[in-house]
Copies of this chain bind each other. A is one copy, B any other.
Amino acid sequence: MSTEATTTTSAACAHACSFTREKLEQVLKRRFFYAPAFEIYGGVAGLFDFGPPGCAFQNNIVDAWRKHFILEEDMLEVEATMLTPHDVLKTSGHVDRFSDWMCRDLKTGEIFRADHLVEEVLESRLKGDKAARGIEHKEEESDEKKKRKKKVKEIVLVKLDDDVVEEYESILAKIDGYSGPELGEIIEKHNIVNPVGGTKLEPPVPFNLMFDTAIGASGNLKGFLRPETAQGQFLNFNKLLDFNNGRMPFASASIGKSFRNEIAPRAGLLRVREFLMAEIEHYVDPLDKSHPKFKDVKHIKLNFLPKDIQEAGHAHVIESTIGEAVASGMVDNETLGYFLARVFLFLTKVGVNPNRMRFRQHMSNEMAHYASDCWDAELETSYGWIECVGCADRSAYDLTVHSQRTNQKLNVQQTLDEPITTEDFEATLAMKKFGPRFRKDAGKVQNFLLTRTQCEYEDLAKELNDTGKIVIQVPEIQDKIELDSEYIKIERVKRTTHVREYTPNVIEPSFGIGRIVYSILEHQFWTREGDEDRGVLSLPPIVAPTKVLLVPLSNNPELQPIVKNVSDFLRKQQIPFKVDDSSASIGKRYARNDELGTPFGITIDFDSLKDHSVTLRDRDSTKQVRGTYEDIVAAIREITYFHGNWEEATAKLTPFESQSEDA
């Protein structure tokens, strides 16, 4: 692994130096990786369509994900519906708590997301302060950076008091952790107003981020578009456990769209209203979160940003092996640690620069309502550090609430090696007496008496023993009820059980595929030295949209049969390729291709007619080798699908004098 990581690193580092977002965006637009949806209708914020290369790139990432996680780890894939009835999301807590805080400008009707607004205004004031102090870093500024700066409104050169600067910085470090009322206080205290026009804003109110709709012709069944795939997995827990022959631990997984009605989408693919997720729900015994394969990954080094560092207002990372991180307790348990390492391996495999990845722990006040611990894999982009994979320990939260709401058991029956003896209170009722006395309420009273907790039984037993009767208040029955020992007996009963029942805990790695797609595009984009208009996307072959570009040297019809032969051979080997037989020069065709991230080029010329020989070009180095097309395709297969590297895979082929790429 470490080799793999290093290779990617050095290449990526070279790329980063020449990176500008503007150039990348031009390429992505020109080559239709993706584009704003409904553009001819003026577009809708937060909705994007993927064109052919973006679509293939994303599909390949999903495919790699399925192999890396589902097949490799024998997970149970599930596809649940996006339409979800109200009751399910009420129980899961999303109806009440899946919200962002928004502030309305009553005068203009404009709506702001409260935390983003605070962030934008305070950052802008800090910049104004730095400028006023004349202490701004004289860093080399790219056009892009200058352009971004211009966009920030309200940069006014005002020097702030030192303690104000400190306070602003502390707020910004903790911005993800504030509640709505806290944001309201900050807005009030620091006089944050609409940056355009300066109008005062209403205090933050929660805005639920789910899209709602009605299911069926009557309109009576309220529903939502799911905000995550997880709930659909939890609801199928019993069927999945059964499918797994009752064995624990195991994981389910889902790949599919989820929806989030963002208040003010921005930052392109990073904050969208409809997005592809890949989620794993790993069900584990709460008493044993060890992982049998942890030893295989414990040497892997990750960058950690734990919560205590953030809560102190800092942002520096600690490098550590995942083995040490679990041993020290920084990462709670082996299973969580195992997944952090597997996430790291996956992300580097599909093209993320490991030097621009960190694992940030959630602060206690920013955790989702269902989570007991959470680490985000964050990727660095020109928009800052972006959460791309959340690894949460959801404990037994979801299974418990759904089970309570539906009265269906969602738990595991574990046959014990050693039986356990328990001594619990149990109530015995004289059933026949209840009907005549309570009539239609008899069921309610009996049910109440049979479903008390151990503590309550202890109290009732004492009351019955001391006074010869108990007095109870049954819900939905107005009067108190008095019962003596003719009706009820409460005794401690000793039982030996061979089965332990428990609700599993859930460790959930949750991937935002669109964010990963975008981050890789940033990490792998660079321009050729000396020719900054020639962009290259160094996408790893395994996820590149197309693997091979087939380029006949000219339009001459004599070349057609050999182009067909090579095409048929590639198709038979199931290697995705494109033919470019346009009249553009070889150099232009390769330049176009570099922008599409195609790792290999095969040039067919007149010599190919004689001896089947063709030229193979490597996108990143522009190195070329010559050989029969059968050998060339074998090398491509080896590199793309079987972890081969260029040097070894092409060792038997003949180096070829490069044709000028500037043609």
Contact = CB atoms under 8 A, between A and B. Distances in A.
A74 B257 CA distance: 26
Nearest to A44: B85
A78 B51 contact: yes
A111 B215 contact: no
Interface string A300-335: 000000000000000000000000000000000000
Interface string A43-63: 011011111101110110000
Given A51-B76, A582-B245, A39 B81 contact: no
A52 B78 contact: yes
Nearest to A58: B79
B232 A41 contact: no
Given A51-B78, A54-B79, 12 more contacts: A32-B236, A32-B239, A32-B242, A38-B85, A40-B406, A41-B87, A44-B223, A49-B78, A51-B76, A52-B240, A52-B243, A83-B259
Pick the 5 closest A-B CB pairs, nearest first.
A50-B79, A49-B80, A52-B76, A55-B77, A211-B213
Contacts of A256: 257
A261 B82 contact: no
Contact of A41 (B88, B243, B641): B88
B235 A40 contact: yes
A37 B80 contact: yes
Interface in A191-208: 207
A402 interface: yes
A217 interface: yes
A207 to B, nearest CB: 5
A582 B58 CA distance: 38
A249 to B, nearest CB: 16
B77 A56 contact: yes
Contacts of A242: 32
Contacts of A215: 44, 211, 261, 273
A71 interface: yes
A402 B576 CA distance: 33
A265 B402 CA distance: 26
A240 B40 contact: no
A216 interface: yes
B55 A85 contact: no
B235 A213 contact: no
A557 interface: no
Interface string A238-274: 1110110100000000001101010110000000011
A364 interface: no
Interface residues of A, number: 80
Contacts of A576: 71
Task: Pick from A59, A74, A240, A408 the residue with the most CB of B within 10 Å.
Answer: A59
A32 B240 contact: yes
A60 to B, nearest CB: 12
A236 B33 CA distance: 12
Contacts of A274: 81-83
A151 to B, nearest CB: 21
A218 interface: yes
B239 A51 contact: yes
Task: Pick from A45, A59, A85, A213 the residue with the most CB of B within 10 Å.
Answer: A213
B78 A50 contact: yes
Nearest to A85: B44
Q: Please classify the interface of chain A as helix (H, G, I), strand (E, B), loop, or mixed, using the class held by over half of its residues.
A: mixed
A68 B315 CA distance: 50
Interface string A568-583: 0001001010100010
Contacts of A51: 76, 78, 236, 239-240, 243
A102 B35 CA distance: 39
A225 interface: yes
Nearest to A48: B81
A585 to B, nearest CB: 15
Contacts of A211: 83, 213-215
Nearest to A47: B81
A213 B224 CA distance: 9
Nearest to A79: B50
A36 B305 CA distance: 43
A631 interface: no
A212 interface: yes
Contact of A257 (B32, B87, B239, B257): B257
A221 interface: yes
A406 B213 contact: no
Nearest to A218: B111
A109 interface: yes
A539 to B, nearest CB: 17
Nearest to A207: B217
Interface in A2-55: 31-32, 35, 37-41, 44-45, 47-52, 54-55
